[in-house]
C-alpha cells in the first residue's frame, strides 16, 4: 500500500542496519571511558535511534527532544520550534544528537547552539542521512550514515504530512503525491 507512493528505494533496511552497526562501533570507540547522553530529535529520529543504540556498547543515557521545522511540507521553513524540551540538564555532559536527516542544517544548528549555551561539555551529531546540497548552515555532522541527493525522501522516520515514517526503508516519494 504505502509502497505504491514510492518512486524507488534509496537506502534499504539491510543497508540501514549495516550503517547503524558501523556508526555504533565508531561511537563506542570514540567515547571510551565516557558516559554520553544521546539526544534524539523527535519525531524523525525514532527508528534510527532504536537501531543505533543496539550497537553502542557504553554506559549511555537516552533522552528525547521535540523539534519541528518543516510543519508538514516538503521544505524546511527555517523556523525551528521546540515542541518538547529536555527533562534533564546537559551541563557538563558529552552529548550526541541523533537525527534521521540533516538537510538545511537549521534544526541541528539551532539545537546545537542551545545545548552549548546550556553548558554541554561536547556536542556531536550522528545522522542516518546527510543531504549536503540542501545546506544553508555551515555544518558537517561527525557521524554520517550515508549521503543522499536533493530528493524528497520518506520512510524510516521521515514523513510527508506525518505519514510514511513507518516504512522500513528510505525511499523517494512520487512527485504526484505532493504535487496534487
Residues engaged in binding ligand PRP (CB under 6 A): 41-44, 68-70, 76, 99-108, 159
- Rounded to whole angstroms, how far apart are CA atoms 79 and 71? 9
- Are 147 and 130 a contacting pair, CB within 8 Å? yes
Smallest separation (angstroms) from ligand PRP to the CB of 142: 15
Residue among 94 and 103 whose Cβ is closer to ligand PRP: 103
| E strand or H helix at 173 | strand 170-173
The residue (of 58 and 154) whose beta carbon lies closer to ligand PRP is 154
CA 71 → CA 78, 79, 166, distances in Å? 10, 9, 18
Q: What minimum distance in Å lies between the beta carbon of 161 and ligand PRP?
A: 10
Q: How far is the CB of 79 from ligand PRP (least distance, A)?
A: 10
CB nearer ligand PRP, residue 36 or residue 76: 76
Choice among 103, 113, 130, 159 that is catalytic: 103
Nearer to ligand PRP, 24 or 76 (CB): 76
CA distance 148 to 14: 17
Nearest to 86 by CA among 143, 49, 157, 37: 37
Examine the residue annotation and report whether 103 is marked as an active-site residue of this protein. Answer: yes
Taking the complex as a whole, how short is the minimal distance between the CB of residue 55 and ligand PRP, in angstroms? 21
Question: Measured between alpha carbons, how far is 143 from 57 in angstroms, rounded to an integer?
Answer: 16
Catalytic center residues: 103
Amino acid at each position: 500500500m504505502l509502497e505504491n507512493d514510492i518512486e524507488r528505494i534509496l537506502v534499504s533496511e539491510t543497508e540501514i542496519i549495516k550503517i547503524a552497526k558501523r556508526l555504533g562501533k565508531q561511537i563506542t570507540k570514540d567515547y571510551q571511558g565516557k558516559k554520553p547522553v544521546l539526544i534524539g530529535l523527535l519525531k524523525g529520529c525514532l527508528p534510527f535511534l532504536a537501531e543505533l543504540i543496539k550497537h553502542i556498547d557504553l554506559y549511555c543515557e537516552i533522552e528525547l527532544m521535540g523539534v519541528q521545522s518543516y510543519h508538514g511540507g516538503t521544505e524546511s521553513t527555517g523556523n525551528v520550534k521546540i515542541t518538547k524540551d529536555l527533562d534533564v540538564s546537559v551541563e557538563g555532559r558529552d552529548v550526541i544528537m541523533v537525527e534521521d536527516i540533516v538537510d538545511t542544517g537549521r534544526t541541528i544548528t539551532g539545537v546545537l547552539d542551545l545545548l552549548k549555551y546550556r553548558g554541554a561539555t561536547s556536542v556531536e551529531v550522528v545522522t542516518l542521512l546527510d543531504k549536503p546540497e540542501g545546506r544553508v548552515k555551515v555544518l558537517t555532522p561527525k557521524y554520517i550514515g550515508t549521503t543522499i541527493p536533493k530528493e524528497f525522501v520518506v520512510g524510516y522516520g521521515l514523513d510527508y504530512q506525518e505519514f510514511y515514517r513507518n516504512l522500513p526503508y528510505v525511499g523517494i516519494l512520487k512527485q504526484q503525491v505532493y504535487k496534487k
